[in-house]
Amino acid sequence: MQSAEELYRFASRYLPGGVCASARSNPALGHPFFVSRGEGPYVYDLDGRPYVDMCTSHGASLLGHNHPAIRAAVSRALELGIICAYETEHHSALAQRLCELVPCAEMARFAGSGTETVMHGLRLARAATGRERIIKFEGHFHGYSDHLYYSSAPPLAQAGPADSPRPYPQSAGMPRALADLITIVPFNDPDALAAAFARHGHEVATLILEPINYDSGCILPRPGFIELCRALCDQYGVLLFFDEVLTAFRVGLAGAQGCFGVTPDLAVLGKAFGGGMPISALVGRRPIMAHLRPEGASEHSGTYLAHLTTVLAARAALHEYAQGGFYERLAELGQRFYDGFGEIIRRSGVSCRLQYAGPRFGLYFGVDEPVWNYRQAAGQREEMLLVFITGCIRRGVYFHVSAHHGFSAAHTRADLDRALEAIEGGMADVRDQFMVGR
């Protein structure tokens, strides 16, 4: 049996950084977390040791790992011949179901990752409006495409003024010219948003946002802010685009748009949508979606789009989410867990803010005030988070070094109690290292 260190050395010879996706590195471990399998709320390391999973595939495994309904769906797709690049009755049935559940959905298209679906949504928004500029919020993440991978986590020294941030490219290799097409605005700042619209509104195709900004931890919109986004879009003929890759089916069957009662023109649904299988959906109003080929002139195509294995998995996942009591149970589990977590933070004396919405949450070490925007979130102390996560992993609970964490519907009270024990230990490690003598 090879150790994680040995596997990492081997993997690094063939995979840059030893990983297939850079976000899978884990600085708390010094190597990626190598798992041998997953089952329900647990992932197992190379030695077969179980860990309560508080990463849950970055939010994709909302049903837990290896859910029987998802397995059955994948088996069914295999029986049907691993159909790929053909339409079936299941594709339109899935689209119809989304149109029943999600307020803005009058039509749907599917693709694999959130990144590619958001990218297609952006092209569609540009085609439908005949405009090119995008407004996005600082600290909001919309995947890795060259068009949108700006200012999701900029270093503060290079982020520009707080009320009019400059577009910060999050990767080398992004064409410089694309930065001219994007305007970055601080989240939850009505004046800054109104000023951006006053300046650019008539050339903007879309305002894109995470309606709950999990990618900066867990930042909710202030009351009235999403409504202001809708009103400004209406005033300037701009399409309101919700990136619900993380919020879809997590905060309710109708997503964040259902929770807030504000309907965008376009939305992307991802992660939990496929129950752990790689599928996401672009949904929107019929006149906008009609711009897609072959009805319209905006391209959206690909050999592997809406692979049947993923379509059947998504149908199965939606069936599970629609079971009576699904979200009530998540809410009840969450309240108990978050109450316990808050109590542990208080008792430890560690400076740490916990913010949550549904079964996902953010932690801000070194921050005590409510966090409403990226600049506040960026004030957290990463070194404290690393000590916390290292302590939790040592105690059998897996946290990834990420802005957001969460549990799944497969987690029981007992699993979350087990997590809380490790969290108490991890917090004690942080206190001993950072708070003693203060």
User: Minimal distance in Å, beta carbon 141 to ligand PLP?
Assistant: 5
Which of the ranges 241-249, 328-336, 337-345, 366-374 carries the binding residues for ligand PLP, by CB under 6 A? 241-249
Alpha helices in 109-169 (DSSP H): 114-129
User: Minimal distance in Å, beta carbon 385 to ligand PLP?
Assistant: 18
Burial 110-147 (b: 16+ CB within 10 A, else e): bbbbbbbbbbbbbbbbbbbbebebbbbbbbbbbbbbeb
Which of the ranges 49-57, 156-164, 238-246, 254-262 carries the binding residues for ligand PLP, by CB under 6 A? 238-246
Contact call for residues 110 and 305 (beta carbons, < 8 A): yes
| Segment 41-48 long-range contacts (CB within 8 Å, at least 24 positions apart) | 41/65, 41/407, 41/408, 41/410, 41/411, 41/412, 41/415, 42/415, 43/398, 45/4, 46/1, 46/2, 46/3, 46/4, 46/7, 47/1
Which of the ranges 34-42, 96-104, 140-148, 295-303 carries the binding residues for ligand PLP, by CB under 6 A? 140-148
Contact pick of 142, 315, 395, 405 for ligand PLP (by CB under 6 A): 142
348 vs 402 by CB, closer to ligand PLP: 402
143 vs 167 by CB, closer to ligand PLP: 143
Contact pick of 115, 129, 351, 373 for ligand PLP (by CB under 6 A): 115
The set of residues, in sequence order, having a beta carbon less than 8 Å from that of 100 and lying 6+ positions away, is none
β-bridge pairing 239-244 and 182-185: unpaired
201 vs 221 by CB, closer to ligand PLP: 221
238 vs 246 by CB, closer to ligand PLP: 246
| Residue 359 in contact with ligand PLP, rule: CB under 6 A | no
| Residue 270 in contact with ligand PLP, rule: CB under 6 A | yes
Closest-CA residue to 200 (of 158, 241, 151, 233): 233
Q: Report the half-sphere exposure of 133 (CA within 13 A, side-chain side).
A: 17
Closest-CA residue to 371 (of 231, 234, 216): 216
Specify the residue for token string 């707080």.
162
| Residue 114 in contact with ligand PLP, rule: CB under 6 A | yes
| Residue 246 in contact with ligand PLP, rule: CB under 6 A | yes
Which of the ranges 74-82, 113-121, 324-332, 365-373 carries the binding residues for ligand PLP, by CB under 6 A? 113-121
User: Minimal distance in Å, beta carbon 208 to ligand PLP?
Assistant: 9
Q: What SS3 class is residue 261?
A: coil
| Residue 138 in contact with ligand PLP, rule: CB under 6 A | no
Binding letters toward ligand PLP, positions 180-219, x by CB under 6 A? ------------------------------x----x----
The set of residues, in sequence order, having a beta carbon less than 8 Å from that of 115 and lying 6+ positions away, is 143, 144, 145
Q: Beta partners for 360?
A: 357, 406
User: Minimal distance in Å, beta carbon 150 to ligand PLP?
Assistant: 13
C-alpha 353/C-alpha 368 separation (Å) is 5
Contact pick of 243, 265, 415, 424 for ligand PLP (by CB under 6 A): 243
String of DSSP letters for 315-364: HHHHHHHTSTTHHHHHHHHHHHHHHHHHHHHHHHT--EEEEEETTEEEEE
| Residue 118 in contact with ligand PLP, rule: CB under 6 A | yes
Which of the ranges 93-101, 135-143, 182-190, 232-240 carries the binding residues for ligand PLP, by CB under 6 A? 135-143
45 vs 215 by CB, closer to ligand PLP: 215
Strands of 405-406's sheet in order across: 352-357, 360-365, 405-406
64 vs 114 by CB, closer to ligand PLP: 114
214 vs 434 by CB, closer to ligand PLP: 214
Contact pick of 141, 361, 407, 434 for ligand PLP (by CB under 6 A): 141
- Looking at residues 40 to 99 of the shown chain, list those that interact with ligand PLP (rule: CB under 6 A): 58
Q: Strands, DSSP E only, in 383-435?
A: 397-398, 405-406
| Residue 245 in contact with ligand PLP, rule: CB under 6 A | yes
115 vs 351 by CB, closer to ligand PLP: 115
The residue count for binding ligand PLP (CB under 6 A) is: 14
Q: Report the half-sphere exposure of 431 (CA within 13 A, side-chain side).
A: 13
Contact call for residues 284 and 107 (beta carbons, < 8 A): yes
Residue with smallest beta-carbon separation from ligand PLP: 114
C-alpha 312/C-alpha 309 separation (Å) is 6
Binding residues vs ligand PLP (CB under 6 A)? 58, 113-115, 118, 141-143, 210, 215, 243, 245-246, 270
